[in-house]
Amino acid sequence: MHPAYSVILFTTASGAGYGLLALLAMVAFAHGPASSLAYGLTTTIIALGLITSGLLSSTFHLGHPERAWRAFSQWRTSWLSREGVAAIITYGPAVVFAATWSGLLPWPQFIAPAAAATAVMCLVTVFTTAMIYASLKTIRIWNHWLTIANYLALCLATGGILLSFLTDLFGRGQMFLYGFTAILIALSIAFKLAWWRMADTTPKTLTPADATGLKGKVRQWEVPHTSANYIMKEMGYTVARKHAAKLRRIVLAGFVLAALCLILAGLLPLLSLLFSAVALLSGGLAVVTERWLFFAEAQHAVTLYYGADAA
């Protein structure tokens, strides 16, 4: 599948934003008001900013962004529509949570319910994003529960990395947060390794003979075009295997480095800001590479009509 940069930016930026917001809401639910107005506002504004810029960037790949509002209408059947609806609903409790938790509005009694609703809606929205991909039967390696586990784990892990850096920036780094984020990263790595294993080992069951219904060994003989068409550009994109292997190692190295840096940040409080900044950079590089690979490694069933020998 063609990796559209707007979709990579959307899913990674809004994923980290929802993860950050969900973790802030969980902390608020357990501990009450933010330690300062500046900290409360900075963290929630960054989370909502990432979510909003991600949502906006997702409209850039549309042919008609001005009609995007129509996408809220078909939530009965369409996961893409459900994602849009969930994203909009999340703003309600999220804004109340941000305003009350930071202390901007003096209504501490709203913190817990708004935080709970925000955390749930963040995870629901990321779940709907994952379902857009996981529900497509045409793409074998996406159509699996591990796709959903991957999206949710990565959203929380990248949100945790961001939160570790932000708390450090305010001089409030905590061993618990570093450790918890390292565990989220480890969980993400485990799901990603399982996903790659699934992608590599589940057999390709469809052949050109299935696609055409012709009996025998079927091979493309003459193509129906004079230059690459939309189907070939959009669905035919697959990354070369040797590059995929290298990029997978970059993803793993980026996440392992991020986890190690966070552990070091906890062990060496004097250098914690430096380590959490490195964790942010290497985690960010890893998740963007991971998302690019998620598209580039995916093979669509339609490629069977265009010369693929199995899908």
* Residues in contact with other proteins by the rule CB under 8 A: 1, 61-65, 67-68, 70-74, 76-81, 84, 132, 135-139, 205-206, 208, 210-231, 234-235, 300-302, 305-306
Q: Write down how long the chain is.
A: 311
CA atoms within 13 A on the CB side of 304: 21
Q: Which is nearer to other proteins, 136 or 263 (CB)?
A: 136
- How far apart, in whole angstroms, are the C-alpha atoms of residue 136 and residue 148? 12
- Phi, psi (deg, nearest 5) at residue 262: -65, -40
User: Are 118 and 22 a contacting pair, CB within 8 Å?
Assistant: yes
Minimum distance from CB of 305 to other proteins (Å)? 6
Q: Which is nearer to other proteins, 36 or 220 (CB)?
A: 220
Q: Which is nearer to other proteins, 77 or 201 (CB)?
A: 77
Minimum distance from CB of 221 to other proteins (Å)? 4
Q: Which is nearer to other proteins, 68 or 273 (CB)?
A: 68
Q: Which is nearer to other proteins, 250 or 302 (CB)?
A: 302
Minimum distance from CB of 141 to other proteins (Å)? 13
Handedness of CA 64, 70, 74, 75 (dihedral sign): positive
- Phi, psi (deg, nearest 5) at residue 44: -70, -35
Q: Could you tell me if residue 103 is left (phi over 0), alpha (psi between -120 and 50 degrees) or otherwise beta?
A: left
With 0-12 / 13-18 / 19 or more C-beta atoms within 10 angstroms meaning exposed / middle / buried, residue 280 is buried
Minimum distance from CB of 14 to other proteins (Å)? 16
- Phi, psi (deg, nearest 5) at residue 139: -120, 100
Minimum distance from CB of 149 to other proteins (Å)? 21
Minimum distance from CB of 132 to other proteins (Å)? 7
Q: Could you tell me if residue 213 is left (phi over 0), alpha (psi between -120 and 50 degrees) or otherwise beta?
A: left
Minimum distance from CB of 146 to other proteins (Å)? 19
Minimum distance from CB of 11 to other proteins (Å)? 14
Q: Which is nearer to other proteins, 71 or 257 (CB)?
A: 71
Cβ neighbors of 168 (< 8 A, separation 6 or more) are 265, 272, 273, 276, 277
Q: Which is nearer to other proteins, 199 or 301 (CB)?
A: 301
Q: Which is nearer to other proteins, 2 or 248 (CB)?
A: 2
Cα–Cα nearest to 160, from 15, 10, 6: 15
With 0-12 / 13-18 / 19 or more C-beta atoms within 10 angstroms meaning exposed / middle / buried, residue 246 is exposed
Within 10 A of 169 (CB to CB), how many other CB atoms are there? 15
